[in-house]
Chain A
Amino acid sequence: MSRTPHDYSGIAVTTPVTFGYARTTEHEVQWHIGGVFEALLRRTGLAKTDIDGLTLASYRLAPDNTASISEYFGLSTRFMVDLPFGGASGAIALRRAARAVQAGDAEVVACVAADTAPTGFGIGAMFSRFSRDHVYPYGAGGPNAVFSLITQNYMRKNGATREDFGRICVAQRRNGSRFPLAVLRAPISMEEYLGARPISDPLGLLDCVMRVNGAEGFLVMTEDRANALSLPFARVAAAIERHDGVSASPVQEAVGIDAARDGLYEQAGLGPEDLDFIQAYDDYPVIVLLQFEALGICAPGEGARFVREHDLTVGGDLPLNTNGGMLAMGQAGAAGGLLGLTEALRQLTGENLGAAVAEAKVGLVSCYGTVNYDRGLCSSAAILTRGRGQ
């Protein structure tokens, strides 16, 4: 008999920041982190001494780390978490910060993720022991190669086609064309998708996210504090995470949070039918389908049929990645893990930078990441609801 997790009542999630997205930069990652801090203070009117908690996700801190970053920015906190979860960081950062605020361990937690794009040869060789010893030596195709195998297996088992994945990419690039911070703003056609240069069969160039520089951030505090500061905010209806949750299947066919889905909706008192939009981690389109299946948006194996039957653009019946996701924004390392969460906050508070989902009251954020060997290890999700509007 497992215990029922506490709810996230009283927590406000505010001040979504998306900063510094560009293909090239002359700066180190600290510049991007500092850009988020600067925006968080400027927009809230808080002093840096008001921020007493920090969660940070970045792959490019070395030789620094989250602890040394606090001195770099003269930021004295009483709660600090380093998040090594990459693309799964978003809902995990939210959970850590929310619990710290609920427990009184911190008043205002800044959740930040930033990365600069690696360049040159050898990317990923030293990501982990398994990667160094058992992945990189097999052609060094990086995540493209790993996810091509997952994609091929999904196609074989479920009858999905390249066009099915193309529908996701085309819809998201359409969304991205309306988002001013997107690095790739031009929409693409299905013909362009299918004709793209092959990268790792069956994946082509337009399945793969472009490495960029960028940063994301938001604040977690009590609703009372947010109201006192007159900040628009969203509430956390429910949140879950799972690590190494899919080790049983020879090829990844689920993301890991699948088993916790019922608990997620139960805690939220909501169901998949209540969702006004989804922000799902989109490093590869097959993972979007696996997240749909994990979160009950459709049945297992039905992801391809689902995307054939639904309009995923803003204005469609189930808007997906309303800022274009990483397919349009590019992948700024671990910042890609927070990209969906900040966009969900904008949709729910009305602070939109791009196209707004009409009457958005409930949004799902699904996060996934950390490819160590042959699959992503970490997954997390949160249901956010509109709190105080703009």
Chain B
Amino acid sequence: MTDHPDLPPKARGPLARRLAAAAAHGRFELPVCEECGTVQYPLRERCVRCYADRLAWRAVPPMGTLLARTVVHHSTDPYFQAHRPLQVGSVKLDAGPVALVFIAAGCGDAGGRVRLVNRLDRAGEAVFIAIPANGTPAEANVMSDPNCEIAGKVVLITGAAGGIGRALVAAFREAGAAEVIEVGGPSAGTGQTKVDVTDKAAVEALAASLAGRVDILINNAGFNGNSGVLAMTEESHARQEMEVNYFGLLNMMRAFSPAMRQRGQGVIVNLLSILGHVNLPAIGSYCASKAAALSLTQAVRAELAPWGVRVCSILPGAVDTRMSAHVPPPKLAPAQLANAVVKALREGLEDVYPGAMAEGMHAALRLDAKALEKEMASRLPAQKL
């Protein structure tokens, strides 16, 4: 057995990290010169036209014209050599630049219209893939990344008894999973395996029997004490949040990762929260536990990336479940959230902000994280001494 699975070339320069960041979110973005409006590609530190250094990453139209295409039968890279023949071409973007791209099925001949998708490859780096002009991003799976397929896969979902859990089970069955293993906590129902994710021994026992065949692990189990940090009457709620949302997640990832690593493929999906990025003080300790879980996710993602195992973060706002019954609308329906998870798998996304609330808060975070903190603080109801 080799130490690492066969992965696409990883080496990129610092500018290309921004491309990978955009791909992680499923965005087609390029640097645009704020002086002259020129869209930049290949990536440069300064505008190729006017040399200004004020380049802003913005969404640009992903449409273009296929200039020429070839089939690469011989590559100097071992991964590509193993995956040839490869469909490669050049595309003139309507936005201006010419990009070398992979070409997905159905794109037709030179001269035809195509749409570009910026997508993470197996190494977690960005590549442009041309798909038919009216295609969908899921079609941009040119080298059949096994981590982007659900059909025929074995899925394990924790927290399966809850509102989001039930929706996830339904969505993955619908998406063609060969088997959906439902793991519930104390409230596990019939047909569900009852395992408390905070019980390390129980989690290890579960992994001992299942880890060898689980392709997609969805860590959905969660607990919310629904209280401010100082307002809390039971400090044990804060501990329980950390036990489930942080240590439970840690237990699951540590127990199931080795088998995935050994197989050189697998996906771990962590149901986090946009509130892991910024604290909503009314449920302050819950947010802190999600911040810990988010940070943990980043660490495990980096550790697993060289082994071909993908770690995906789902960061919704409020979801319409019993756990957040007291939260005023708008709330994301569990089925919508579950569909977003399925889409994230198929499109190889890394960070997903499903729903208007998460999307809006994520945009606000990119703009000014401190301002969003102030906004969240302002939502704390007036309190009496």
Residues of A within 8 A of B (CB): 121-126, 129-130, 132-142, 144-145, 148-150, 152-153, 156, 197-203, 250-251, 373-374
CB of B12 within 8 A of CB of A149, answer no
Nearest-CB distance from B107 to chain A (Å)? Answer: 14
Counted as pairs of residues, one from A and one from B, with CB atoms less than 8 Å apart, the total is 124
CB of A121 within 8 A of CB of B78, answer yes
Q: Specify which of A156, A202, A374 is in contact with B90 (CB 8 Å cutoff).
A: A374
Interface string of B6-19 (1 = CB under 8 A from A): 00110111011000
CA distance A58 to B74 in the complex (A): 25
Tell me whether A250 and B98 are in contact in the complex, defined as CB-CB below 8 angstroms, given that A141-B72, A200-B72 are known contacts: yes
Chain B residues, Cβ within 8 Å of A156: 68, 110-111
Question: How many of B's residues come within 8 Å of A, CB to CB?
Answer: 41
In the A-B complex, list the 8 residue pairs whose CB atoms are closest, starting with the nearest: A140-B77, A141-B72, A148-B70, A149-B68, A139-B86, A139-B72, A123-B76, A250-B92
| B88: interface (CB < 8 Å) | yes
CB of B110 within 8 A of CB of A152, answer yes
Chain B residues, Cβ within 8 Å of A122: 9, 76-77
Nearest-CB distance from B129 to chain A (Å)? Answer: 10
CA distance A373 to B40 in the complex (A): 14
Q: Specify which of B67, B76, B80 is in contact with A149 (CB 8 Å cutoff).
A: B67
Interface string of B37-77 (1 = CB under 8 A from A): 00001110000000000000000000000011111111111
Can you list 12 residue pairs at the A/B interface with Cβ under 8 Å? A130-B42, A133-B12, A133-B16, A136-B9, A137-B125, A140-B9, A141-B80, A149-B68, A149-B90, A200-B88, A250-B67, A374-B100
Chain A residues, Cβ within 8 Å of B337: none
Chain A residues, Cβ within 8 Å of B90: 149, 250-251, 374
CB of A152 within 8 A of CB of B68, answer yes
CB of B77 within 8 A of CB of A121, answer yes
Chain B residues, Cβ within 8 Å of A132: 11-13
Q: Specify which of B15, B81, B111 is in contact with A133 (CB 8 Å cutoff).
A: B15
CA distance A42 to B2 in the complex (A): 53
Q: Specify which of A141, A198, A250 is in contact with B75 (CB 8 Å cutoff).
A: A141
Nearest opposing residue in chain A for B76, CB measure = A123
Tell me whether A200 and B8 are in contact in the complex, defined as CB-CB below 8 angstroms, given that A130-B42, A138-B88, A250-B90 are known contacts: no
CB of A145 within 8 A of CB of B88, answer yes
CA distance A199 to B42 in the complex (A): 26
CB of A138 within 8 A of CB of B100, answer yes
CA distance A84 to B69 in the complex (A): 29
Nearest-CB distance from A244 to chain B (Å)? Answer: 10
CB of B88 within 8 A of CB of A139, answer yes
CA distance A148 to B73 in the complex (A): 11
CB of B99 within 8 A of CB of A142, answer no
Tell me whether A149 and B70 are in contact in the complex, defined as CB-CB below 8 angstroms, given that A134-B42, A135-B100, A374-B100 are known contacts: yes
Chain B residues, Cβ within 8 Å of A135: 100
Nearest opposing residue in chain B for A128, CB measure = B42
Tell me whether A373 and B69 are in contact in the complex, defined as CB-CB below 8 angstroms, given that A121-B77, A134-B99 are known contacts: no
Nearest-CB distance from B172 to chain A (Å)? Answer: 31
| B101: interface (CB < 8 Å) | yes
| B154: interface (CB < 8 Å) | no
CA distance A250 to B97 in the complex (A): 8
CB of B100 within 8 A of CB of A144, answer no
Chain B residues, Cβ within 8 Å of A137: 8-9, 12, 121, 125, 127
CA distance A133 to B100 in the complex (A): 11
Chain B residues, Cβ within 8 Å of A126: 11
Indicate the member of A123, A134, A198, A201 with the most B CB atoms within 10 Å.
A134
Nearest opposing residue in chain B for A208, CB measure = B74
Given A141-B74, A200-B88, 19 more contacts at CB 8 Å?
A121-B78, A122-B9, A125-B77, A136-B9, A137-B9, A139-B75, A140-B76, A141-B70, A145-B70, A145-B72, A149-B70, A149-B89, A153-B110, A156-B110, A197-B73, A198-B73, A200-B70, A200-B74, A374-B100
Chain B residues, Cβ within 8 Å of A200: 70-74, 88
CA distance A49 to B358 in the complex (A): 74
Indicate the member of A139, A197, A202 with the most B CB atoms within 10 Å.
A139
Nearest-CB distance from A146 to chain B (Å)? Answer: 8
| B102: interface (CB < 8 Å) | yes
Chain B residues, Cβ within 8 Å of A125: 9, 11, 76-77
Q: Specify which of B16, B73, B86, B98 is in contact with A374 (CB 8 Å cutoff).
A: B98
Tell me whether A141 and B88 are in contact in the complex, defined as CB-CB below 8 angstroms, given that A125-B77, A135-B100, A153-B110 are known contacts: yes
Chain B residues, Cβ within 8 Å of A145: 70, 72, 88
Interface string of B210-228 (1 = CB under 8 A from A): 0000000000000000000
Q: Specify which of B16, B71, B101 is in contact with A138 (CB 8 Å cutoff).
A: B101
Nearest-CB distance from B185 to chain A (Å)? Answer: 43
Indicate the member of A135, A141, A149, A373 with the most B CB atoms within 10 Å.
A141
Nearest opposing residue in chain B for A121, CB measure = B78
Indicate the member of A122, A135, A250 with the most B CB atoms within 10 Å.
A250
CA distance A201 to B103 in the complex (A): 14
Tell me whether A136 and B77 are in contact in the complex, defined as CB-CB below 8 angstroms, given that A141-B88, A150-B68, A153-B67 are known contacts: yes
Chain B residues, Cβ within 8 Å of A136: 9, 11, 77
CA distance A134 to B88 in the complex (A): 12
Chain B residues, Cβ within 8 Å of A202: 70
Nearest-CB distance from B77 to chain A (Å)? Answer: 4
Tell me whether A124 and B99 are in contact in the complex, defined as CB-CB below 8 angstroms, given that A152-B69, A153-B68 are known contacts: no
Chain A residues, Cβ within 8 Å of B67: 149, 153, 250-251
CA distance A199 to B92 in the complex (A): 24
Nearest opposing residue in chain B for A136, CB measure = B9
CB of A139 within 8 A of CB of B80, answer yes
Chain B residues, Cβ within 8 Å of A144: 72, 74
Interface positions, chain B 187-206, Cβ under 8 Å from A, are none
Q: Specify which of B8, B12, B76, B89 is in contact with A121 (CB 8 Å cutoff).
A: B76
CA distance A148 to B71 in the complex (A): 9
CA distance A137 to B15 in the complex (A): 15
Chain B residues, Cβ within 8 Å of A250: 67, 90, 92, 98
